Chains A and B, each alone.
Chain A
Amino acid sequence: MAVVSLKDLTKIYDRGHAPAADKVSLEIGDGEFMVLLGPSGCGKTTTLRMVAGLESITAGELSIDGAVMNAIPAKDRDIAMVFQSYALYPHMSVKNNLAFGLRRRSVSRSEIERRVVSVAETLELTPFLQRKPHALSGGQRQRVALGRAIVRDPKVFLFDEPLSNLDAALRVSTRSEIASLHRRLGATMIYVTHDQVEAMTLGTRICIMNGGRVMQVGSPLDVYHQPVNTFVAGFLGNPPMNLLPATVTDAPGGCTLAIGETRLEVPGTRMPAHSPGADLTFGIRPENVRLGEAPGAGFATLAGTVTQIEALGAETIITAGLPNVAAPLTARVAGDGGPGVGDRVGFAVDLGAAHVFGPDGRAVTQS
């Protein structure tokens, strides 16, 4: 049982500098897998280290199971952490690396032995128990780092980009290993990454951060389908959502948008009335853009000139420039073939999947 709750958690490293974590509020339920996702330098590691007790908390409150943890030292929080660099003790054998954390916790010798052996078993580390970390491969080191956390049987697991030093294939297999670990242990886990795929596949919920602030918290699909602002919209998805500058025209009802020379009527359910002349952002995911003219109501046509084609086999990413629009339009269409660079083509935009963001970048979409 472990509910981790962050209330306005703030970290200022150097006085006068902008906070590295700015009023981060987050409630992580028991057994939940929370992913902290965001670009480099957004304060993910800082937040995690405050939870771990490795970094002092400038302001705000951290509690675990209702008990305030701000002043409790790391060793008494019953939290285990897996570091990006693995941080294995180079002078100790794998076995001692695994046992090191238990020796300080009044666990009997035989119990330590039993736990180490069983964890080594599950992580297939048994043949390496007597080796030093430098004699292990990257993947094996990673598993030792995982094992060191598991063997402690802590209330909360913290991971700081544990997969970023692995090659692509190993990353996929270790990812599923972590997922099954979470299912098996049912422990509360907080996982920092800047890899969207890891976040989408592992997370029960995702917390997207930027500039030290929490942008949005929600299930992976919620966050993907209902981004609350342009940052989240532009951060998630590969390629990310198209964000086109748009102006409200003075049509009745005020839900007609002008994007360059095109006018389109966003259904009222997607966009509440706005005063004419307001500068908004029109967002549409590449998979909601098709080639060709609008097939009917609920679609609009944007015409543009193809500037780039990326054929990926199963799908093709088409980038086009729209006349008098500052941002390009990206479409993701099935199969290969289609137009070539320089062709002038029409794109059918599914207005039912459109997002509209206000002048402040916040979503005004009603969903």
Chain B
Amino acid sequence: MAALRKSILLLLLTGYTMFAAGPFVWVAMMSLRTTTEIHHDHFGFPDPAHWNKYPDAWFNSNYATYFANSTQIVVAAVILVTLIGAMAAHCLARYRFRLNRVIYFVLFSTIIFPPQITIISLFQILVQYGLYNSKIGLMLVYVAIQLPLTIYILESFFARIPSDLFDAARMDGYSDWEIFWKVAFPIALPAITTTVILNFILLWNEFLFAVVLITEEANRTLPLGIQRFIGDTQEDIGMIATGLMIAIIPVIVIYAFFSEKLIQGMTAGAVK
């Protein structure tokens, strides 16, 4: 009975894995084939495998630059979002002051606006401040768009830390600033890790703001790099696949390293 159940479960999981991983495997295979080969047989195996497409994309199609740009912008944005978000969440969760809930609600309500609404005014603002077409400009926009969700996730976590802990730390002689760093931040680490991964993945793949706010080749990010292979009349499917793989690899690495922490963070509320 147990064996039967187990095999059914295994079957279901295998089916789901194939369903979820299928497109990924397909792109991975295409990344090693030329566009002509792909047009002949959409689902063929990479035989022979054109490994040289990777260095080709990296060196000849400017992917090294895109990769560096993406890394700089996203890493900086994630660090800023995490620091500002954690501090704001701690403040909203812990301190009683007038308008606390109003600020919280206003911050959170910005989530409901679709990005298309804000993008025109953002464009204007960036042009006026001379930040249009710059990495710093895009980075600041990323910080701004990810901040509400980050604060929302972290606030509920910080609010669950018993206030006695902060009182104990105050009796132990620590200032509010030190209490944030030595008590609140380490305790909230699982939740903070969750937001780091979430923000990293979302921003790494971000296209809309990047395509509007960056036009200069030297400042393009990876999702824009893929656009390069889409011409007016023709698409270089093979190189698009290679570019996608280059873009995806860091996400997979990060996820593989942090997935345990991520699950911990998401279930932290459920366990206690």
Contact = CB atoms under 8 A, between A and B. Distances in A.
A328 interface: no
B200 to A, nearest CB: 23
A103 B33 CA distance: 62
Contact of A83 (B167, B178, B183, B186): B167
A268 to B, nearest CB: 53
A260 interface: no
Contacts of B182: 100
A87 B165 CA distance: 5
B170 A54 contact: yes
A41 B114 CA distance: 48
B173 A87 contact: no
B162 A87 contact: yes
A130 interface: no
A237 interface: no
Contacts of A89: 165, 168-169, 183, 187
Given A79-B171, A101-B173, 10 more contacts: A74-B170, A81-B167, A87-B164, A87-B167, A89-B165, A89-B169, A91-B187, A100-B182, A148-B168, A152-B172
Contacts of A105: 173
A75 B173 contact: yes
Interface string B21-43: 00000000000000000000000
Contact of B172 (A49, A53, A104): A104
Contacts of B173: 75, 101, 104-105
Interface in B98-139: none
Contact residue range for chain B?
10 to 19
A62 to B, nearest CB: 15
Contacts of B171: 52-54, 74-75, 79-81, 101
Closest 9 CB pairs of A and B: A101-B172, A104-B173, A87-B164, A75-B173, A87-B168, A91-B186, A83-B164, A74-B170, A85-B164
B197 to A, nearest CB: 20
A75 B174 CA distance: 7
Interface in B177-214: 178, 182-183, 186-187, 189
A interface SS class: loop
Interface string B143-184: 000000000000000000010110111111111001000110
A352 interface: no
Contacts, number: 57
Most chain A CB within 10 A, of B162, B165, B172, B182, is at B172
A39 interface: no
Interface of B: 162, 164-165, 167-175, 178, 182-183, 186-187, 189
A85 B174 contact: no
A75 B162 contact: no
A357 to B, nearest CB: 39
Interface in A54-71: 54
A337 interface: no
13 contacts: A52-B171, A53-B170, A54-B171, A73-B170, A81-B168, A81-B171, A85-B162, A87-B168, A89-B165, A101-B172, A101-B173, A104-B173, A105-B173
Contacts of A148: 168, 172
B174 A54 contact: no
Contacts of B169: 89, 100
A91 B169 CA distance: 13
B143 to A, nearest CB: 27
**Which residue, of B171, B174, B175, B187, has the highest number of chain A Cβ atoms within 10 A?**
B171
A74 B173 CA distance: 7
Nearest to A86: B164
Contacts of A52: 167, 171
